[in-house]
């Protein structure tokens, strides 16, 4: 007799981008030409100083354990950086290092949430938010981000949550926002900070795209007065410095919260490898100009993709205020075929053509509010972005193939 899974494990969902990635790789291995726009990875090389410093650290034998909070000199460099770039009044004591930004979702929930606590989540939402909330027995409370409001978080939704929730304990905020590209304004952040300041409410500020704001500069709610005491800001080197495989990230929080997260890293991950941290430190110290040049390349790619998508009948799309994603509204196409938007995405990958496919994500991958949208990343060369949109134009004219795909995959029919 096999040992039964826990209720939590049995209910666990995963990040759909990696599921679609696996399908795309399988199809490519079988000979299909797949344009991969499903995952938020950089097509550019890792920052040059990071590569050099990482290699030098390995050669120097810095491959042993390190402090669970992170190397002191790395934490000091991080604090200097967020003070200078984002106006966050942090010291090294406010910083803790982990393998990427994603682990801090779990640690935030473990630090703050009890069973039956309620957590405000703006939807569409990054798909790993909910599993980390429910892991603690807490309940996500979803409010929609709206295309007509440029996918910005609405402070009135925060006020309503605080007034009507029976156990309001936390808020998940993501700006610049994945998948929509929405960016919270200074007024949005100030209003949210004013609503929660002094209350027993914690806020997780997910900021992996902090250098991908296309008009103006990135703003963090942690820079608002008093917010270091109530917020955890999560950052990564994956996007800004094209270091996704290095698994290097950090959080900024109050010293007490940073120490608590350090204990959680100690009892789960031990530490981030020192040579990875030294690579990240070198990127912060020396690669800002290279980073900014790369961000401009991303901006150009996003504009190219959005311009192409605007030529497709039945598609409306905003130029994202941040990130390297386009989030077109394809609801007229979905309604015409009676297919979910994720079904449309999978049709583009698997069913529209035998020789070619486009890998992207349906909006339902990010929750019910994502219905009628699909997400494209800009992780391929420009000519492939153009080819992907041309493929979309042709694929939605092949009504016989859409019907056949739905017949074979009825789970994608609109119910």
277: number of Cβ within 10 Å = 28
Angle, helices 288-309 vs 382-395, to 10°: value is 20
Angle, helices 274-286 vs 72-86, to 10°: value is 30
Task: Name the pairing type of β-strands 231-236 and 249-252.
Answer: antiparallel
Q: How far apart are CA 46 and CA 269, in angstroms?
A: 24
User: pLDDT at position 33, please?
Assistant: 96
For domain 48-286, give its CATH number from 3.30.300.30, 3.40.630.190, 3.40.640.10, 3.40.50.300: 3.40.640.10
Spell out the domain ranges in the chain: 7-45+290-397, 48-286
User: pLDDT at position 189, please?
Assistant: 98
Q: How would you class 4 by CB atoms within 10 Å of its CB: exposed for 0-12, middle for 13-18, buried for 19 or more?
A: exposed
Count of H-run helices and E-run strands, the chain: 15, 12
Tokens 């109530």 label which residue? 230
Consecutive 10-residue averages of pLDDT for the chain (415 residues): 84 76 90 92 95 98 97 98 98 98 97 97 96 95 97 98 97 98 98 98 98 96 97 98 97 98 96 98 98 97 97 96 97 96 95 95 94 95 96 97 96 91
User: pLDDT at position 375, please?
Assistant: 97
User: pLDDT at position 327, please?
Assistant: 97
| CA contacts within 13 A on the Cβ side of 106 | 14
Q: How far apart are CA 364 and CA 156, in angstroms?
A: 24
User: pLDDT at position 1, please?
Assistant: 58
Q: How far apart are CA 176 and CA 320, in angstroms?
A: 9
User: Which class in CATH covers the domain with range 7-45+290-397?
Assistant: alpha beta
């Amino acid at each position: 007799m096999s040992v039964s899974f826990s209720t939590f494990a049995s209910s666990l969902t995963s990040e759909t981008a990696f599921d679609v990635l696996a399908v795309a790789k399988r199809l490519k291995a079988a000979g299909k030409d797949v344009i991969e726009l499903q995952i938020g990875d950089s097509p550019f090389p890792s920052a040059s100083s990071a590569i050099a410093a990482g290699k030098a650290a390995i050669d120097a034998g810095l491959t042993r354990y390190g402090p669970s909070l992170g190397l002191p000199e790395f934490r000091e460099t991080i604090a200097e950086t967020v003070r200078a770039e984002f106006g966050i009044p942090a010291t090294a004591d406010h910083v803790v290092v982990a393998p990427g930004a994603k682990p801090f979702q779990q640690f935030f929930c473990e630090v703050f949430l009890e069973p039956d606590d309620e957590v405000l989540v703006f939807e569409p939402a990054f798909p790993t938010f909910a599993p980390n909330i429910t892991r603690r027995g807490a309940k996500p409370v979803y409010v929609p981000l709206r295309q007509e409001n440029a996918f910005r978080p609405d402070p009135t939704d925060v006020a309503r949550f605080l007034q009507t929730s029976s156990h309001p304990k936390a808020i998940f905020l993501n700006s610049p926002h994945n998948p929509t590209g929405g960016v919270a304004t200074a007024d949005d952040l100030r209003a949210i900070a004013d609503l929660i300041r002094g209350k027993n409410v914690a806020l997780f500020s997910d900021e992996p795209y902090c250098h991908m704001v296309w008009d103006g500069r990135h703003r963090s709610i942690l820079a608002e007065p008093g917010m270091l005491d109530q917020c955890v800001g999560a950052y990564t080197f994956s996007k800004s410095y094209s270091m996704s495989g290095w698994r290097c990230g950090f959080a900024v929080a109050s010293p007490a919260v940073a120490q608590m997260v350090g204990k959680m890293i100690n009892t789960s991950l031990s530490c981030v490898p020192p040579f990875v941290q030294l690579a990240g430190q070198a990127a912060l110290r020396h690669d800002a100009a290279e980073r900014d040049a790369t961000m401009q390349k991303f901006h150009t790619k996003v504009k190219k993709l959005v311009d192409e998508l605007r030529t497709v009948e039945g598609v409306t799309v905003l130029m994202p205020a941040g990130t390297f994603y386009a989030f077109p509204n394809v609801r007229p196409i979905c309604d015409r075929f009676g297919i979910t938007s994720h079904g449309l995405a999978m049709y583009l990958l698997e069913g529209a053509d035998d020789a070619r496919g486009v890998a992207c994500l349906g909006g339902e991958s990010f929750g019910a509010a994502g219905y009628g949208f699909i997400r494209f990343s800009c992780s391929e060369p420009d000519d492939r972005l153009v080819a992907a949109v041309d493929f979309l134009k042709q694929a939605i004219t092949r009504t016989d193939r859409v019907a056949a795909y739905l017949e074979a995959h009825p789970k994608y029919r609109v119910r």
